[in-house]
Amino acid sequence: MSGVSPTESDPKSGVDPTADPAADPGADPGVEPASAGPVEGFDRLRYAGVFVLLFLFGTETFLISPLLPTISDDIGVSEAAAASSVTAYVLAYAVAAPFLGLLSDRFGRRRALLAGTALFAVSNAAAALSTSLALLVVSRALAGLAAAAAGPAIWAHISESTSDRVRGRALGLGMALFSCGQVVGVPLGGLLAGVAGWRSAFWALTLGTAAAVPLLLRQVGPAAGRGVPVGAIRGVLAAWRVPALREGLLVNTAFNAANLGAYTFLGALLVDRFDLSVEALGLVGVLVGAGSVAGSLLGGRLGDRFRAAGRTDLPLLGLWGLLLAAGIAVAATGPGLVLALAGVTLWFVASGGFVTDQQTLAGTAAPELRATSSAWLTSTMYAGTGLGAWAVGAFGDVADGVLAVGAGLAVLAALGGLLVGRGARAAVSRPAGQE
């Protein structure tokens, strides 16, 4: 990538006369100097700081659930009341992410990353010190704001500092590490809580976040923002005016209504069908995370191969939707526990692959809106999850609801994915500067 400031470019042609012609043609002005990625290969250590954060974010997102009984007993509230801390995190993230993503697009990744990282450390320390439900809920809301500031900036940073050849692989690895937070981080947090109390798990998150700061300072350099030339509200909504992104966000809503909406009832489904114990359901959760890791890595590699072959239309989005429908259908109706668990694995392989492709779309369809677009992916994911869970819950029989809503909306998302692919192909092939 070229590291030349946009102010050194020819003001008439918009072409940098000093740029290396062998550099990545997709490079954007204003990218952090320390983030200028190599055209060939992918140096994983160069992204150690943001990868550590993604692992910690994945751990924190799922950590409250296994600790809920212990936390509720310690602070003297019901489990339902303590669960409001999870709602606080989700709502804070979903509402704030598009606005904070816009700030990242305007003022640069480094500011958003460092501010979000610092707030994440403070919020987890506050959770560890919580002696009342009010303080716990506030600390989780702050954690949601922190992740909303840093998360979109991380995905944008990875997208803009890697070449087309390895972008999918880099995003897939980041998503896999986020999923590893559930597979590895949550069990470790549970073990630590069992030995030293639930507060120790949040202190561990605080220390891990602090340890990532020196890496971030080295790996994400300062840069001027891109200056999205619109007002605050219009800027937040700008991604919806890009056809490929608008279609992608709508498909993302439908996909996650099927995916995570149905997942809300996966435990109840497996208990109804096979009378699984709580311990067995915990192992299913590990299987879910492992499937997501595999799908994220697979999606990244396959996407890179398609792009290397000249395919820029994200042809796999439709495939992930069909695989999701098949996985949900087998989990809901397949005879025998082994086959049902195979369906669950396929379900989350499709989920991991889809999310990686969507992050690639967010990083390429409108480069000046990378963080804002990524933020909207998360917000529409949460919206879809809520709608899907409501729709499945409206059925009297859990298996019927999971099958009808999950598989049905997954097929709809697959069809929408074909339209997204066409829009992405048009956006990527459009000449630079053409509206």
* DSSP letter for each residue of 1-22: -----GGGS-TTT---TTS-TT
C-alpha 126/C-alpha 112 separation (Å) is 21
pLDDT of residue 344: 95
For 346-395, the pLDDT digits (tens) are: 999 999 999 998 998 888 888 888 999 999 999 999 889 889 989 998 99
Please count the other Cβ atoms lying within 10 Å of the Cβ belonging to residue 364: 22
pLDDT of residue 30: 38
pLDDT of residue 118: 94
Query: In which band, very low, low, confident or very high, does the pLDDT at 194 lie, cut at 50, 70 and 90?
Result: confident
Of 298, 346, 64, 89, nearest in space to 175 by CA: 298
Please count the other Cβ atoms lying within 10 Å of the Cβ belonging to residue 419: 17
C-alpha 117/C-alpha 55 separation (Å) is 13
323 has pLDDT over 70: yes
C-alpha 196/C-alpha 389 separation (Å) is 35
C-alpha 105/C-alpha 153 separation (Å) is 8
pLDDT of residue 306: 81
C-alpha 75/C-alpha 83 separation (Å) is 13
By CB atoms closer than 10 A (0-12, 13-18, 19+), residue 54 is buried
Percentage of the chain exceeding pLDDT 70: 82
Mean pLDDT for 15-35 is 39
pLDDT of residue 333: 94
37 has pLDDT over 70: no
pLDDT of residue 426: 55
pLDDT of residue 314: 62
Higher pLDDT, 4 or 380: 380
For 219-242, the pLDDT digits (tens) are: 876 654 454 544 556 778 888 988
| pTM of the entire predicted model | 0.78
